[in-house]
Amino acid sequence: MIHKRNATITAVGGYVPDTILTNKMLESYVDTSDEWITSRTGIKERRILSDITLATSDMAAFAIKDLLHESGVDPKTIDCLILATSTPDHILAPAATLVCEKAGLTIAWGFDLNAACSGFLYALSVGASFIESNRYHKILVVGADQMSAIVNYEDRNTCVLFGDGAGAVLLESSSDGSGLIDNVFKVDGKGSSSLSVSGGGSLYPASLVTVADKKHFIQQDGKNVFKNAILGMTSTCSEIMERNQLDTAMIDWIIPHQANLRIIEAVSKHLDFPMDKVKVNIQKYGNTTAATIPLCLWDFKEDFKEGDKLLITAFGAGFTYGSTYLKWGKLHSKII
């Protein structure tokens, strides 16, 4: 059987900072407790980029270097970098240009993509389209966010949720049936005010007033986000399974965005998936926004076998949300 050209993941990399911020440590910041945070979110600790000389582009570059080192891929063969992030180093220039420089991608061109927590899935779809067109052959897709830069550590409702990190995958062409098969993506602009950082853009440029009003920090309507995240991820998973004639027994693994363990468990329950088929690492990293899904792929890559069917789903600010169905392929192995 001849399969159409797909974009398949051939290498995975990741990076998380060394500094660990535990729930116990947060008790000295705000009125909270380890029991309260764990029971409501599933998070035990998160990683924080504490070196003030580093930023999102550095974490992305570290994740890429990990990928290149483990796979043996030559950085000079990379055609393009797509960086999913909500926390670029600067408004200008794009963080992707800095990452190319720092990671030694001397031939690649690149750009940023901002779809919040759905950013990695959106970027993966764009990268796959480039591969499928046969115009490009090696595409790096990276999700990276330094959420500690936009978190108010006096707000107990948000500061317990987020951490910093980066994950990267390499996309290449495949004709063996592996790779990205289908996507379902949605947006609902009515939810844009429920999870936002309103200051610093063209509507509210940075000023003494925006700083005083804490407009440069994350603001969240937790109940509305919680409800819509469950609905959005469940509905898009169901849609993609229906149109690809899949049932739960045919899916080997679900990789959900790591925002809240209760959301993940609710999605699993609504889809009738056992939790032992759902990959979870939120307890270690918290919500790293665009980095959660590639960090899951990095953490659990040894569990995935060639031909495994993966259902990946995300929900983020905007509201942006969606699901991707892919078949796991063969990863590069470093020649020693």
pLDDT at 219 exceeding the cut of 70: yes
Q: What would the two tokens of residue 211 be? A: 């700083």
Output the pLDDT for position 8.
97
Is 257 among the residues known to form the active site? yes
Catalytic residue among 80, 257, 260, 296: 257
Sign of the dihedral defined by the CA atoms of residues 296, 299, 301, 303, in that order: negative
Mean pLDDT of 214-223: 95
Tally of domains in the chain: 2
Whether residue 263 contacts residue 254, with contact meaning beta carbons closer than 8 Å, is answered with no
Mean pLDDT of 132-138: 95
pTM here is 0.95
**Residues 45 and 159 reside in one and the same domain:** yes
CA–chain centroid gap for 161, Å, is 15
Q: Which CATH number belongs to the domain containing residue 50 in this structure?
A: 3.40.47.10
| Residue 291 falls in which region: left (phi positive, over 0), alpha (psi -120 to 50) or beta | alpha
- Given 128, 151, 177, which residue is the final one in a domain? 177
Mean pLDDT of 249-277: 97
What are the tens digits of pLDDT across the range 43-66? 999 999 999 999 999 999 999 999
**Residues 161 and 21 reside in one and the same domain:** yes
- Nearest-5° angle of CA 289, CA 290, CA 292? 70
Q: CB neighbours of 9 closer than 8 A, spacing ≥ 6?
A: 169, 170, 171, 179, 297, 326, 328, 329, 331
- Given 131, 151, 177, which residue is the final one in a domain? 177
Q: What would the two tokens of residue 76 be? A: 């000079």
3-state secondary structure of 15: strand
Q: CB neighbours of 127 closer than 8 A, spacing ≥ 6?
A: 7, 80, 82, 139, 140, 141, 171
d(CA 26, CA 31): 8
Mean pLDDT of 174-203: 94
Catalytic residue among 117, 159, 237, 296: 117
pLDDT at 336 exceeding the cut of 90: no
Short-list 329, 326, 171, CA closest to 254: 326
- Over its C-alpha atoms, the chain yields an Rg (Å, rounded) of 19
**Residues 229 and 111 reside in one and the same domain:** no
Whether residue 268 contacts residue 278, with contact meaning beta carbons closer than 8 Å, is answered with yes
Q: Residue 335 — pLDDT band, cuts 50, 70, 90? A: low
Q: CB neighbours of 293 closer than 8 A, spacing ≥ 6?
A: 120, 121, 143, 167, 255, 257, 258, 312, 314
**Residues 107 and 43 reside in one and the same domain:** yes
Mean pLDDT of 210-239: 97
Q: CB neighbours of 197 closer than 8 A, spacing ≥ 6?
A: 86, 150, 215, 216, 217, 218, 219
Q: What would the two tokens of residue 248 be? A: 């739960």
Whether residue 331 contacts residue 9, with contact meaning beta carbons closer than 8 Å, is answered with yes
- Given 161, 177, 193, which residue is the final one in a domain? 177
What are the tens digits of pLDDT across the range 99-119? 999 999 999 999 999 999 999
Is 183 among the residues known to form the active site? no
pLDDT at 2 exceeding the cut of 80: no
| Domain of residue 113, residue span | 6-177
**Residues 213 and 133 reside in one and the same domain:** no
Largest Cα separation within the chain, whole Å, is: 64
**Residues 22 and 161 reside in one and the same domain:** yes
pLDDT at 153 exceeding the cut of 50: yes
Please list the alpha-helical segments (H only) found in 133-221: 156-159, 208-212
**Residues 228 and 145 reside in one and the same domain:** no
